Amino acid sequence: MKDLEKRIEQADRFMRQGDYKKALKIVKKCLKDYPADPLLLYNLGVIYYKAGRYLDSIYSLEEAVRKGAEEPDVYNQLGLSC
């Protein structure tokens, strides 16, 4: 799990720098390794939102909710994406 945390931090850095392509690549690779992790789907939804890809963001966030994410941040981001 330590490796996953580092990869998420790296993706977050790229996202804050505006390099959404690299951030998406990292998170999508993480999802292949950890497909049941709703936090990764949330992170993917945030990156899609920042990149202006709102439908992709909504899809990812709804999938995060289906997989058990119930944090208020997930619902807040879903509202913003809508």
> Whole-model pTM above 0.85?
yes
Cα angle 68-72-74, degrees, rounded to a multiple of 5: 60
Model confidence pLDDT, tens digit, residues 30-63: 999 999 899 999 999 999 999 999 999 999 999 9
From CA 33, how far away is CA 28, in angstroms rounded?
A: 9
Q: What pLDDT score was predicted for residue 43?
A: 95
| Tokens encoding 66 | 């289906």
